[in-house]
Structure 1
């Protein structure tokens, strides 16, 4: 799970990346929706789907394009470190 944020004019919306057990896509779920939905294991994603979370060890295949678009991910990416540039991975 990773945290991301989307700037709204008045407040930032924190999201959590959750892999769906059915389509194995990584969906964005608002942090506010995690706790109320945790008892049932079904979470409302930004794209409008209600997803069932996979195991935290289950890797996602790819990100949900609708969630990415709605998240408007403008968080700057981590700069590539010296070791990664040398190794090339």
Structure 2
């Protein structure tokens, strides 16, 4: 087992886990941890839902540029702002 099998390890690897960038054995360790840790399961599910909501097109109600800029800055995604 590695350090990824605890709450701190999950948080530090959450993006890679959700993006499918972790090796299968590390994914299995994280999933085992989440099966025993309700808090980490909530964190992962909430982040997944947030990403899904953000990706949904909203032509009738676009995200204002100011809010989009603040969101990207908060998530440290400024490089993607103009893409």
| Same fold, TM-score > 0.5, yes or no | no
The structure in which a higher percent of residues are helix is 2
Q: TM-score, normalised by structure 1?
A: 0.22
Q: TM-score, normalised by structure 2?
A: 0.23
- Which of 1 and 2 has higher RCO (CA within 8 Å, sep 6+)? 1
